[in-house]
Structure 1
Amino acid sequence: MSTDHAQEFAPRWLDAREGADADARSRGPLAALAPHGSVVADLGCGTGSLGRWAVPRLPGVRRWTLFDRDPELLALAGARVPAPTVETRLLDLARLGPADLAGATLVAGSALLDVLTPREVLPVADAVAAVGCPAWFTLSVAGRVVLTPEEPLDAAVAAAFNAHQRRGERLGPDAVEAAIDAFARRGYRATTFPSPWRLGPDPAEVTRLWLHGWVGAAAEQDPDLPLEGYLARRLEQWGAGRLTAVVHHDDLLLMPPGKRP
């Protein structure tokens, strides 16, 4: 959630959002995933936050394989996931194939689907379906933000931010629907679970960074928006403990034919 695409994946931002991610992820899929969590392929792993959250909650994890195209993030993640065996794979997901997922009993990803393009979702769906295991994608942006107190500009900022999320053909808020469609054509059944961030004075750092990124992306997308004082007012409200934000996300569970959630 930054105006700079690379900054979205900066360790500072990923570490700042980890607590909000942990609080937001739905526990709903865990029972269905429990029989499938022994060998996990974590796509677009970032610093490994999904592994740190999931390994203690999935019984019987034996191997966690981290996939990312950023070698620095892979190095950080590989040292911080508490699985018995942790492997790292440097890979652009556009080139993901069934051989990369060989032996996986579960494919997972966090804050991943919305940064993919339609062309990148298809090889992921193909590779997962070829292996025949479940897939679990958490924290995809849903395109809805509710700020309290409200301001008249909120809707325009949200719309501009959502348009920014779709730049470069990225799926943005359309990601869950696109993934459901891609996997359905391969026989998978989908269940969605709400996983909203609930931000306020605590945790402070992620709220401040999110505000800067949300408003900055909107301003970049639509320079005509009158945002000169908007961010300053919102930061003042946040600093006074009067601002809360619900940033909606969805978690997605995809089960292959013959397996029940």
Structure 2
Amino acid sequence: MSATGVRVSPQWLVLREPADAAARSARLAERLAGHLSGTDRLVIHDLGGGSGAMGRWLAPRLSGPQHWVVHDRDADLLDLAVAAAPGPAADGAAVTVEARMSDITRLTPDDLSGADVIVASALLDILSTNDLRGVLDVWTGIERCPLLLTLTVVGCVVLTPGDPLDARIGAAFNAHQRRTTTAGRLLGPDAVAAAVEQLRLTGAEVIVAPSPWTLDAARADLTREWLHGWVAAACAQTPALAVEAGAYRDVRLAQAAAGELAVTVDHADLLVLR
């Protein structure tokens, strides 16, 4: 992801886009749309926007002409964001997309000047404490600009049927998300609480809504890729798990292929109004 300099494959983003779209809170999008009612032309900045999936989900839920500015450090993903621009707005108005090579941890209020809305998706949990503070400080410097932050993990994964190793894998994965990098300690599942605490200090209204990922037979390919990544990250954090994790992963993959596995990965969305 752009914020940490780790590249995300376009194939993974394509695979997860339908699950992301189903998970994000439509209620918060409706609340945002009502808040923006009457704005002539919306300028929306998408931080770490990658291939532009957030725009494809949100733009049709907002009315009026829209200009999306997608910030990312990956030029290939930005090309995808422009090539697969969102369809028309809710009322049929035109939507345009501009790609901007950016390190979102180094943005200034001038970089976001003129924004009517700032959005981000699957971003907060890969930020460090200092990076989160910096991003939110930049937002504070923009007058009356709503903020919509979606799909932040909260550290809860439920697999059905259960397995005795689920809790240990989950705990190791959460620890991996909180690992220390050159940017500092990553927030991982603590990101929502940290963001809410900082945002409420500004006097803004902060609304939190659940946005759970649901993985099942209908999303077998995504379930398979998620399982590989979940177990691999857990073993990277706690190598002793590797003795049992290989067999565990293979059983889970077989269950997923047979349509016998359901997974809920809890996330939260934040809408910030002032």
- Give the TM-score taking structure 1 as reference length: 0.92
State the superposition RMSD in angstroms. Answer: 1.7
**For structure 1, which runs of at least 5 residues remain unmatched after alignment?**
257-261
- 1:231 aligned residue: 249
CA distance in 1, matches of 2:193, 2:14: 28
Which residue in the other structure is 2:140 paired with? 129
Give the whole-Å Cα distance in 2 for the aligned partners of 1:236 and 1:20.
21
Partners of 2:30 and 2:61 within 8 A in 1? no
SS in 2 for 1:224: helix
**Partner of residue 33, structure 1:** 32
Q: Tell me, yes or no, if structure 1 residue 53 matches structure 2 residue 52.
A: no
The percentage of counterpart residues that share the same residue type is 48
Residue in structure 2 matching 1:116, options 127, 152, 170: 127
Report the residue type matching 1:40 in the other structure: I
Cα distance in 2 for residues equivalent to 1:182 and 1:227? 38
1:46 positional shift: 1.2
Q: Which shows bigger deviation, 123-132 or 192-201? A: 123-132
SS at match of 2:173: helix
Aligned length: 253
Give the deviation of 1:33 after TM superposition.
Answer: 1.0
- Which of 78, 83, 89 lines up with 2:82 in the alignment? 78
Per the alignment, residue 16 of structure 1 pairs with 15
Residue 122 (structure 1) shift: 1.6
Distance 1:61 1:176 in 2: 31
Give the whole-Å Cα distance in 1 for the aligned partners of 2:85 and 2:139. Answer: 22
Amino acid at match of 1:11: P
Tell me how far 1:84 sits from its aligned partner.
2.4
Deviations 1:164-201 (A, max 9, x none): 11122111111111111222222222111000011011
Equivalent residues in 2 for 1:79-228, closer than 5 Å: 79-82=83-86, 84-132=95-143, 133-167=145-179, 168=181, 169-225=185-241, 226-228=244-246
**Structure-2 residue corresponding to 1:259:** none
Off by >6 Å, runs of 4+ in structure 1? none
With normalisation by structure 2, the TM-score equals 0.88
Unpaired stretches in structure 2, ≥5 consecutive residues: 87-93
More displaced stretch, 166-175 vs 142-151? 166-175
Please list the CA deviations of residues 28-78 of structure 1 after superposition, one character each: whole Å capped at 9, or x if unmatched: 112221143811110000111000111111112421110011111111112
Amino acid of the residue matched to residue 257 of structure 2? G
